[in-house]
Every structure is written in C-alpha cells, then in structure tokens.
Amino acid sequence: MAVMTAPNTALRAIRTGMRMSQDDFARALQAAGHRIGEPNDANKRLVQRWESGAIAAPRPVYARALEVVTGLPISLLGFTAVPGEYVADDEHGGHDLTSPISGLATPTPNSKPTTIHGSYEGVWLSRYQYYSSGRSDSFAGQHFVVMLQHGDRLTARSLPGSAASSLSLDLTVDGAVVTGTWVEQTDPGGYYRGARYHGAIQLLAEPTGRRMAGKWVGFGKDMDVNTGPWELVFRDASTSKATLDRYNTSTT
C-alpha cells in the first residue's frame, strides 16, 4: 500500500468549506454513488483515512463520487497517487434581461482553445447578465469554471482566482437541453457584501459542443423574480492541475 507522508489537508479544507462533518461527507458520497449508478460503502472511517494520509488515493468508484460531491476534479483533492494505480485499501464493506452577452470581451489565457470529444468536461467561460435595481443599471458576471461530467450530470465550479465571487452549477443534460440550478456567493467586499443568491438555469447546447446559451431565473433583494441571459463558452478539454492553474486568473 502506498502511504502519504503528510495529511491530506486539501481534502479536509474542501470538506470543512462545505460545512460537512466526516459523517455528512460520507453520506453525501454514498448518495452520489447511487445517483451515478455506482453504489459505494463510504463511511466516516474511510474519510478519516483519506484525510490523515493513510490512503494515498481512492479507488475509482470513490474518485468519481468525490468529484460529484465536491464539483472538483480528483487532481485537486490532495491525493498523491492516481486512482486506478492504487491497490485498494478503501475499507471495503466498512466504510429578465434579454440583451445578448456574446458581445462581451472573451478573456483568454496563453493557450488556444482545444476541441472536446463527446464530453462537456473541461474549462468553460461562464458569462451572465443581471439588472441591479439599486444602481438602475445592468451588469455582467464572468468566471472560469471547471466542468465535470458523470453520465448525464454536469457539475461546474468556478476557479477561485477567476472572480471575487464563487459560482457553482449543477446541471442535467437531456439531448441538447441543459437544465439545473446555480448558486453564487458574492464578493464580501463588493456591492452585495457576500450575499448568497441561487436560482434555476436552462441552456441549449450548440451541436459543436462548444457553447451553451439560455437564461437564468432567480430572486432579487425585494423578493421579486428576475431573469437574464447566460452562456457557457468552451475553452479547454483538460482538467489537469497545470491547466486549471493557467485559467485560475481574473476574467476581467
């Protein structure tokens, strides 16, 4: 068995950032396994062994559940070995605006977009527009997000350096129709002072697989229902740490 030389502080930080106990996290992993058709036996002891560094990498069935629960690729979860290369010691049996947004400037790091092959997984540029009643004007929000795919389920999480706010999307693909929910934690030092907003989203994916466009719906501060355009533009098929580091930069 490969043994880590240090605790997996990255995984622990992600779990605590999600405000989950080790028991909660294990239950979420089990639920994710059932959703994607790969049941697992995750429990608190297994999570403890991952976080302590006693297990260098999860088995593939757990790696996929970890990606679903955290919305992050396994390469960013602090493990030091590659799932699939590890001989398992995973405790088996234990454990409405209508204006277009395509005219916005598209930020690009020092690389050209690559193509995707039958998958939506990779780095995307997320752009949306919203109307601020307090400022009587419309604004745009932009983030680089990392998209993961498990069957017909997509999860996208913003790269922390790409914007002052954090964004997450949980989506389901049905042909060319992509439907789901969004959550944004606004910039603590910005106009909305760290307020948390959430709502629904529906997009249509272009046949090329390089762009999704549609609308969001959500509530405003006066408890009114707002809507506006949203698009996701494909940038890179890789979710390696080196690639994500390259896109982990401001979109402005």
Residue 94 has pLDDT above 50, yes or no: no
Please report which confidence band the pLDDT of residue 4 belongs to, taking 50, 70 and 90 as the band edges.
very low
Residue 166 has pLDDT above 70, yes or no: yes
Give the pLDDT mean for 158-175. Answer: 93
Q: What does the alpha-carbon distance between residue 90 and residue 218 come to, in Å, rounded to a whole number?
A: 41
- Give DSSP secondary structure letters for 28-65: HHHHHHHHTT------HHHHHHHHHTSSSS--HHHHHH
Residue 195 has pLDDT above 60, yes or no: yes
Residue 106 has pLDDT above 90, yes or no: no
Q: What is the pLDDT of residues 29-44, one digit of tens each?
A: 999 898 888 899 999 9
Give the pLDDT mean for 146-166. Answer: 92
Q: What does the alpha-carbon distance between residue 22 and residue 36 come to, in Å, rounded to a whole number?
A: 21
Q: What does the alpha-carbon distance between residue 54 and residue 49 come to, in Å, rounded to a whole number?
A: 5
**Percent of the chain predicted with pLDDT > 70:** 83
Residue 18 C-alpha from the chain's centroid: 13
* Residue corresponding to tokens 């529906």: 202
**Percent of the chain predicted with pLDDT > 90:** 53
Please list the alpha-helical segments (H only) found in 42-132: 44-52, 60-70
Global confidence as pTM: 0.69
Please report which confidence band the pLDDT of residue 141 belongs to, taking 50, 70 and 90 as the band edges.
very high
Give the pLDDT mean for 189-206. Answer: 92
- Give DSSP secondary structure letters for 152-193: TEEEEEE-GGG-SSEEEEEEEEETTEEEEEEEEE--TTSTTT
pLDDT at position 87 is 37
pLDDT at position 1 is 42
pLDDT at position 214 is 96
pLDDT at position 114 is 44
pLDDT at position 81 is 73
